[in-house]
Structure 1
Amino acid sequence: MNNEWLQSMYSARQQWVPVYMRDTFFGEISVTDKSGGNLFFDGHLTAMTTIQMLIKQYEKAVASWHDKELKADYDTTNTTPVLKTPSPMEKQAGNLYTRRIFMKFQEELVETLANPATKVDDSGTITTYRVAKFGQDHKARTVSFNSFEMKASCSCQMFEYSGIICRHILAVFRAKNVLTLPSQYVLKRWTRNAKTGAAVDERASDLPNNTQESLNVRYNNLRQEAIKYVEEGAKSIHIYNVAMDALREASSKLAIAKNQSSGPTHGSTLSNGASQELHAAEGTQTQTYQSADMKEKKIQEMTAELENINHRSEVYRSNLLAVLKDIEEQKLKLSVKVQNARLSLKE
């Protein structure tokens, strides 16, 4: 090429062409649409906009995006997501993600029905799958799944780029009977509690305890926690010894819990008088716990209601400011017209 600038841009294409940066997290952010227009200033700028007007339009654009964010927060807090599948993973995502991110995740999850995962290689803990849509084998993606760490990587690199798990990994999770999202695939920035800093509960703890589905969920959760424990415990001899002691203690507690759940009740070994005293004490303690639980529940309800009121107040405040701003602009325009009319009358 004779054009040196064009040649230099081509040589540096890996630094600015999006396809070369799929392994870098961008949060799926784009300031321009597919036609080349600027999404931030969409509806606020034209080819005739002056520098003076640009400043005013910039303020309007910021206010508009702020209003959209408030509305999105309100929708996330006060509306219930519509589930399209009986998957506990979808229910979990609906409780965790903001509404917009959930809809993206839901789209990927639904697409797993048309994107089966086929095992192509199995080398111990790493299993390789080929995922393709029916009739589109030429667009197949490769997914590597580590069953020990519960981690997967896809050749499409959607999660690395946007932080939203892709349909190909979800298809592998479905094939491996992984019913809930592993914690490493739930980015805090996409959750409804991202601004408040509240802890994210990624476990589907509200599932019925007597179903096989819930058994698999509990198994997956325990396995994930155990893997973290093993990784930390193997870092040094001291930590290893501490971890082993903790495991032995946990094993003893599990044995006691199993005996208590399967053995005779404690009250059956006591005399009638002692049994009555025990039941009375337990009744008083139960009432105390129930009272505390009711207070805690009431506090949570009042806190949630207060947050809803704050959201609504912020929306109303934003709308009021926008109205006042429009009134000021109209007042200014009217003042200019009156002044021009006076000048014309004097002439």
Structure 2
Amino acid sequence: MYGLQNNDWLIGIFRERSRWVPCFLKTSFWAGTSITQWSEGINACFDEYVHSKTSLKQFVEQYERALRSKVEKEFQEDFKSLSQMVPCITRFDMKRQFQIAYTIVKFKEFQQELTEKMYCDIESIEDGSFGTKYVVTEDFTVRERIKEKKFEIVFERDKCTFSCSCHLFEFRGIICRHPITVLIHNKLSVVPDNIYFDVGGRM
């Protein structure tokens, strides 16, 4: 419509879209998976069942087989999560709370966040009209050098609401290390049952 098919700037930002698009999606729940990964996952799921010469009738039959196989694998994972327990690697009480609530895979992700909490420190605390704002610094190793990054967490203790500037909870459904740091600072050894994040997504 606007004759911009050969615009160098648009072509350039489209080529580099993997570097800037995620920042517009991090407040939406994608279970930590990008659109590209989702597409690749779907393709991998059907690769062993269909190919370029599969007829329409064969495709329908193979599609049903693929779905049955996927459901069976999910049942097996559910059974494994109910019958097995991943060892806890910290002494925080909240780990047992999530050990029961999460699947094995998700609990391992949460344990990773709990472990990474050791690299976080609270730099400042400021009371405001919308709750208490904490600035949490986290140390990263980049090319063998320690770099510091800051995150803002707003915690309304009375309402039990959290918001974190990294948006990991909104994107992956996992409580990140920054609110965990604030919870431990407030002597909350377990996550309250009624806690929720500012996006309205109940835990």
How far apart, CA to CA, are the structure 2 residues paired with 1:127 and 1:121?
A: 5
Change (3 A) 1:110 1:122: same
Asked if 2 retains the 8 angstrom alpha-carbon contact of 1:28 and 1:161, the reply is yes
Q: CA deviation at 1:121?
A: 2.9
**Which letter maps to 2:83?**
N
How far apart, CA to CA, are the structure 2 residues paired with 1:37 and 1:24?
A: 18
- Matched with 2:150 is 140
Give the TM-score normalised by the residue count of structure 2. 0.72
Q: CA deviation at 1:93?
A: 0.9
Asked if 2 retains the 8 angstrom alpha-carbon contact of 1:119 and 1:129, the reply is yes
Alpha-carbon deviations, 1:233-278, whole Å to 9, x = none? xxxxxxxxxxxxxxxxxxxxxxxxxxxxxxxxxxxxxxxxxxxxxx
- Matched with 1:76 is 81
Q: Secondary structure at the match of 2:44?
A: coil
- Matched with 1:159 is 169
How far apart, CA to CA, are the structure 2 residues paired with 1:186 and 1:80?
A: 26
Q: Secondary structure at the match of 2:124?
A: strand
Asked if 2 retains the 8 angstrom alpha-carbon contact of 1:25 and 1:161, the reply is yes
Asked if 1 retains the 8 angstrom alpha-carbon contact of 2:138 and 2:150, the reply is yes
How far apart, CA to CA, are the structure 2 residues paired with 1:146 and 1:186?
A: 10
Alpha-carbon deviations, 1:210-249, whole Å to 9, x = none? xxxxxxxxxxxxxxxxxxxxxxxxxxxxxxxxxxxxxxxx
- Matched with 2:135 is 129
**Which letter maps to 1:88?**
D
Bigger proportion of residues as helix: 1
**Which letter maps to 1:175?**
H
Alpha-carbon deviations, 1:106-161, whole Å to 9, x = none? 11111111222222533374232223125321x32221222332322111111122
Change (3 A) 1:160 1:43: closer
Match of 1:110 among 101, 115, 133: 115
The structure with the larger Rg is 1
Q: CA deviation at 1:18?
A: 3.5
How far apart, CA to CA, are the structure 2 residues paired with 1:159 and 1:29?
A: 13
Q: Does 1:24 align with 2:22?
A: no
How far apart, CA to CA, are the structure 2 residues paired with 1:69 and 1:184?
A: 29
Higher relative contact order (CA 8 A, sep 6+): 2
- Matched with 1:270 is none
Asked if 2 retains the 8 angstrom alpha-carbon contact of 1:31 and 1:40, the reply is no
* Identity across the alignment (%): 24
Give the TM-score normalised by the residue count of structure 1. 0.45
CA RMSD of aligned residues (A): 3.4
**Which letter maps to 2:28?**
T
Which blocks of at least 5 consecutive residues in structure 2 are unaligned? 141-145, 198-202
Match of 1:89 among 78, 83, 94: 94
Bigger proportion of residues as strand: 2
Q: CA deviation at 1:25?
A: 2.6
